[in-house]
Homo-oligomer: A and B are copies of this chain.
Amino acid sequence: MAPENRAPGKVGPARRRGLADEVADRVRAAIFDGTYPPGSRLRETELSSALEVSRGPVREALMCLEGEGLLRSGWHRGAVVVELSAEDVAEIDSLRGTLEQLAVRLAAERASGEDLDTLARAADRMRRAEDAHELVALDIAFHDAVYAATGHRRLQEAWHTIRSQVHLFLVSRIGVSVEGYLETVPGEHRDLVDALRTRDTDVALRLFADHRAHALHVLTGRDTD
C-alpha cells in the first residue's frame, strides 16, 4: 500500500519481503474482514497449517500485529484479537488527536506540491469508493498520506501503532451506523486538503479536529468529552 504512491519517474528500492510480512498482511486482512472477530484466539499452530508456513514466521507476524495493537497476548497464553471497549476508543481518539495535531502542523508547513497532489488524489479516490469497506481503507490511506507528507519518520511510526486499531474501529462500526458517513466523509477530506494547501495551520488544525469529532460522533452516537 505504501510503495504505491511513489513519484513517477523515480523507482523505489526493490525490497524483498519475508514470509512473516506476508502472514501479517493476511491475518490483518482476515481480522478486518471479520474472519477473526474481536475476542478470537489466534493459535500459532492453526495459522501455520492454514497458511502452510512453519510457526516461526507466524510468531513474528503475530508479534508484529501485537505491536499494531490488533492482538493482545501473554506468556504461554497465545494471542487474542482485541475487543475495543469505550475506554479503548477514547484512548485511541485522544492519542490520535495528539499525533495528528503535530502531523497537520508539520504537513501545513512543509508539504511539497507533490505531497499535496498525492493527498488530493487520495481524497479524490474516496468519491469513487463503491462500498463502506473500501471507503474505510481509503480514509486510512488518506491519513497515511498526511503523515507521509510530514517527513517525520517517527511520527509515522507512532501513527502505525494505532492505525490498525482505528481501521478496526471503523470497520466494526460501519453497518451499525453509516448514516452520513458515506456521503459527508469524502467531501470533508477534500476540504482538509484545501486547508493544507493554503498552509493556514490554524484553519487546518480546526478542520482536522472537527473531522475527527464528527466521525466519532457519527460512529459512536456520543459527543466527545
What is A's interface to B at a CB cutoff of 8 Å?
15-18, 56, 59-60, 63-64, 67, 69, 74-76, 91-92, 94-95, 98-99, 101-102, 152-155, 157-158, 161-162
Contact = CB atoms under 8 A, between A and B. Distances in A.
Given A18-B75, A67-B67, 8 more contacts: A59-B60, A69-B157, A94-B102, A94-B152, A95-B102, A95-B158, A154-B162, A161-B161
Contacts of A155: 91, 94-95
Contacts of A56: 56
Contacts of A18: 75
A154 B91 contact: yes
B161 A91 contact: no
Contacts of A154: 69, 91-92, 95, 161-162
Contacts of A158: 95, 158, 161
Q: Which of A17, A92, A152, A158 has the most CB of B within 10 A?
A: A158
A216 to B, nearest CB: 16
A223 to B, nearest CB: 18
A212 B95 CA distance: 20
How many copies of this kind of chain does the complex include?
2
Given A15-B75, A75-B17, A94-B102, A161 B157 contact: yes
13 contacts: A16-B75, A56-B56, A59-B60, A60-B63, A63-B63, A69-B154, A91-B154, A94-B102, A95-B154, A98-B98, A154-B161, A154-B162, A157-B161
Contact of A98 (B17, B74, B92, B101): B101
Q: Which of A64, A74, A94 has the most CB of B within 10 A?
A: A94
Nearest to A74: B15
Q: Which of A91, A92, A101 has the most CB of B within 10 A?
A: A91
A98 B153 CA distance: 15
Contacts of A63: 60, 63-64
Contacts of A76: 16
Contacts of A69: 154, 157
A140 to B, nearest CB: 17
Contacts of A102: 94-95, 98
